[in-house]
Structure 1
Amino acid sequence: MLKTGHWGAALVCYAPVGWFLLETRPGLALAGGIGVLALARFPDVDLRLPLVSHRGPTHTLLFALGVGAVLAGVATLLSDVAPSSLDAPWLVPFAAFTGVFGIGTHLLADALTPSGVPLFWPLSRRRFSLRLVRANDALANWGLLGLGTVLTALAVLLR
């Protein structure tokens, strides 16, 4: 998928999470939304890395877990520095969730295309694909972004 499709997939997937969190933890809802959007295109960093194939290691569950672990580590450091200003008991697990979820939305969007993603690499090279749309399909990419925008707006308005 293109950047619009990845941002759209992130919004579509995060809208129900954001809606749920807005009631009791609006700060986490906003931070999670920003985090998921920021990570929505991160696996495509492989396009700028020599010796790393596109839709290779950065398009796996292992990578998603690694990003979640790094974000949990950063959140642990932040909670030690400024625990009173942060939602301390929820910060570390939510940071891990945001990392895994953000990368997961990218994997899901790419799994809609014929090329698919190697979810279980390095254990398996099998690629998972729903073969619904081509990665450069403008209607699919903009449609996902439009749907994600509408769902996010509804999540905010209905809370």
Structure 2
Amino acid sequence: MTSNIDSPHRTMQPTHNFPHLGTPSFDMRFTSTPRGARLARRLSAVRLDAWGLPYGTETHEAVVLITAELTANAVRHGHVAGRDFHLLLRVVERPGPTARIEVTDTRGERVPPRPGKLPAAGLADDGRGLLLVEGLATRWGWYARTRAPGKTVWAEYDMTVGGAD
């Protein structure tokens, strides 16, 4: 399923490293449950492999981990009963090939801190997800949706910097 999710970066440009695919993208809604988050992670891993970013490479593992953390956060902190979360995974040029992960949920009042403002997790049992995202991603952030309640948390991973294996 796809939907028209608000995004300030909606234009897709062709990526030169994947000319046979055009602009690779994966766009789907998932139930806002742990099972939905697991499925989003697994389908993202399969899609990356199909795009020529094989399992076991640094790029594949980093993008899958970022996706896993963002989708788990959507379930844990963005859950609204009866509402799904939305995942958009695509490869864009910025100027080199970059994986962009966007996860949208419908809970707008619970927002993450801005990048660079994350508190240290210390010995807490949780709270490390966005620290992992901040450590792996080239850049990340979030924005409020304008046409519906909720927010989108996004992250980008520059595949040339991170090691397009």
Structure with bigger helix share is 1
Q: TM-score, normalised by structure 2?
A: 0.31
Bigger radius of gyration: 1
Q: TM-score, normalised by structure 1?
A: 0.32
Structure with bigger strand share is 2
Higher relative contact order (CA 8 A, sep 6+): 1
